[in-house]
């Protein structure tokens, strides 16, 4: 019996696109609403659009997720591991100073992450000087406003390129 012709092409399929997840904690949906934006990036939607466009230029998918609920942020981190997200940028907002559960999720999935804060948390009240994330982060950017997200993404893209 003759074998049917294989319709496999000689070209191998393109590698799957790499993915970066950007996580925003509680109240960051208000970014811009109270004049917290900087360098022309006034709302979270503006920040997302700039980051997605920058990722696209490197053929990297940049997804953003904001929640005011700790459990939803934890679920999103756990899903990231299943989806093969390669890098996370996270502003845990007030959970920075309180959430062992979100810290544990990031440690558990072992996806490298950069911690971002709009304001310099070390120039604010002492309670904000403590972060449950910084010791496990690849790096921390604090006080550069919305630009900090783009700086973190630039680092993430070079990390994905070069490892």
Nearest-approach distance from CB 29 to ligand DQA, in angstroms = 11
Q: In terms of CB distance, is 102 or 121 closer to ligand DQA?
A: 121
**Footprint of ligand DQA (CB under 6 A):** 27, 91, 93-94, 96, 117-119, 121, 128
Nearest-approach distance from CB 79 to ligand DQA, in angstroms = 22
Q: In terms of CB distance, is 87 or 133 closer to ligand DQA?
A: 133
Distance CA 17, CA 106 (A): 22
Q: In terms of CB distance, is 122 or 161 closer to ligand DQA?
A: 122
Nearest-approach distance from CB 46 to ligand DQA, in angstroms = 15
Nearest-approach distance from CB 91 to ligand DQA, in angstroms = 5
Q: In terms of CB distance, is 44 or 60 closer to ligand DQA?
A: 44
User: What residue is closest to ligand DQA based on CB?
Assistant: 93
Written in H, E and C, the secondary structure of the chain is CCCCCCCCCCCCCCCCCCEEEEEECCCHHHCCCCCCCECCECCHHHHHHHHHHHHHHCCCEEEEEECCCHHHHHHHHHHHHHHCCCEEEEECHHHHHCCHHHHHHHHHHCCCEEEEECCCHHHCCHHHHCCCCHHHCCEEEECCCCHHHHHHHHHHHHHHHHC
């Amino acid at each position: 019996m003759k074998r049917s012709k294989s319709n496999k092409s000689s070209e191998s399929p393109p590698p799957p696109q790499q993915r970066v997840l950007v996580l925003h904690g509680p109240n960051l949906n208000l970014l811009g609403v109270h004049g917290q934006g900087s360098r022309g990036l006034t709302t979270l939607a503006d920040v997302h659009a700039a980051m997605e466009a920058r990722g696209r230029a490197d053929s990297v998918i940049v997804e953003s997720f904001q929640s005011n609920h700790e459990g939803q942020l934890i679920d999103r981190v756990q899903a990231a591991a299943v989806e093969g997200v390669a890098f996370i940028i996270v502003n845990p907002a007030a959970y920075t100073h309180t959430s062992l559960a979100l810290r544990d999720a990031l440690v558990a999935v072992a996806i490298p992450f950069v911690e971002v804060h709009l304001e310099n948390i070390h120039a604010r009240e002492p309670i904000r000087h403590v972060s449950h994330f910084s010791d496990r982060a690849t790096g921390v950017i604090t006080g550069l406003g919305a630009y900090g997200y783009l700086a973190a993404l630039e680092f993430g893209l070079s990390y994905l390129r070069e490892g």
